[in-house]
Amino acid sequence: MQDGFERGRAGRRRRSRCRGFSLVELLVVTVLVASAAMAAAPVFSEWHARDRVDGAARALLAGLTLARGEAIARGARVVVCAADGAPRCVPSGHACARGALGWSCGWAVVVEPRRNGQALRIHRRLAGVSIATAAARVEFTPPAGQVIGGFRKFEFSVAGRSDDRLRRCVRIAAGGRSRLEAGGCGRRAGA
């Protein structure tokens, strides 16, 4: 008798282990996952915006470095200018698609632009990124790759937002060297 009783208890134990989750348990887990996703969404959105701004600033920095190097190597004038997806410079304040202006439309690195120059690099517009500068173009001259017109700066930000944590500044010294800084260009350099 005892033996049959033990087998019945073991069978019930085995069956209860194979159950699964109850509806209440599944609902609690679903609510917790949804709450965590809602709490994390703004953080991911800000991270994505900062990444776009940082990427655009680094792309311009790379273009400026390329232009300076090519001016030295080729012994020719190399220009970095606002461009609307084409290998030619556009005038200051030029409006491109979707309401962007000037450098926010994109830029090009062009060798000897006055002589139907060769485009070395074209960077297309990055959606959601705004670029503010007073420079219509940046010209690098041989033999040392100096910039005509002295110091320049470009401020990158998320279009429509004024958070300084989401800004980047590219500064160009008169000697032609460029550097990238976190924060806006209005800040004191090195602060």
CATH class of the 29-182 domain in this structure = alpha beta
Question: Which parts of the chain sit beneath pLDDT 70?
Answer: 1-18, 87, 92-93, 97-100, 113, 115, 187-191
Instruction: Give the pLDDT confidence score for residue 160 in this predicted structure.
Output: 77
pLDDT in tens, 36-92: 888 888 878 888 888 999 999 999 999 999 999 999 998 888 989 888 777 677 776
The pair phi, psi for residue 138, each rounded to 5°, is -120, 120
Instruction: Give the pLDDT confidence score for residue 191 in this predicted structure.
Output: 42
- Tokens 């005892």 identify what position? 2
